[in-house]
Structure 1
Amino acid sequence: MTVALMWEARASDGRGEELLAWARAQEFPREPLRRETLRAPGDRVLVITWWDAPYDAELPELPEPDGELLTRAVHRWRFESVGDG
């Protein structure tokens, strides 16, 4: 089964590039099948990782950044692949 973990955060005003750099620099104890980092207006950053694991498996996730980098707590979601079509 493929599980996708989504991590989304909103940076404090004007700190979107700093949050993006922080997210890109984070490493996992093991490599996911795939990792993609995206950004959006409003200084938002989204990281999606794909894992070959059961839905309820313990998987490494990005933490919350330290300090005043964020305007709110990180949002996290977990999805399972249902295939194409």
Structure 2
Amino acid sequence: MTTVALMWEARAVQGRGAELLEWARAQELAAEPLRRELFSAPQDRVLVLTWWDAPFDAELPELPEPAADLITRPVHRWRFESHGTGD
């Protein structure tokens, strides 16, 4: 089985990064990923990575768009296929 990573990245309205992070943390997915990790960065950015045992083109649950008044632009989404850790 292939491991697929979904990346979800959004930029909050200035000063609301912590709120966006908590919003992302509270979102439930229709299925449980192998792993889910949240990151924050300067400029009130939030990144969520989820890992799945699934084919690259599988239908997988993704985080929705937050309310428009919480973000400065549409969410960016990417899908990657894992090729190992390089160990």
TM-score between the two structures when normalised by the length of structure 2: 0.94
1:70 corresponds in structure 2 to 71
The reply to whether residue 46 of structure 1 matches residue 47 of structure 2 is yes
Cα root mean square deviation, aligned: 0.7
1:18-37 mapped onto 2 (5 Å cutoff): 18-37=19-38
Residue by residue, what CA displacement relative to the aligned partner does 1:23-73 show, whole Å, maximum 9, x if unpaired? 000011110000000000100000000000000000000010113000011
For residue 23 of structure 2, give the secondary structure of its aligned residue in structure 1. Answer: helix
The reply to whether residue 7 of structure 1 matches residue 8 of structure 2 is yes
For residue 19 of structure 2, give the secondary structure of its aligned residue in structure 1. Answer: helix
Identity %: 75
Poorly superposed stretches of 4+, deviation over 6 Å: none
Alignment gaps of 5+ in structure 1? none
Alignment gaps of 5+ in structure 2? none
TM-score between the two structures when normalised by the length of structure 1: 0.97
1:81 corresponds in structure 2 to 82
Distance (Å, rounded) in 2 between the aligned partners of 1:2 and 1:83? 9
2:61 corresponds in structure 1 to 60
- Give the deviation of 1:84 after TM superposition: 3.2
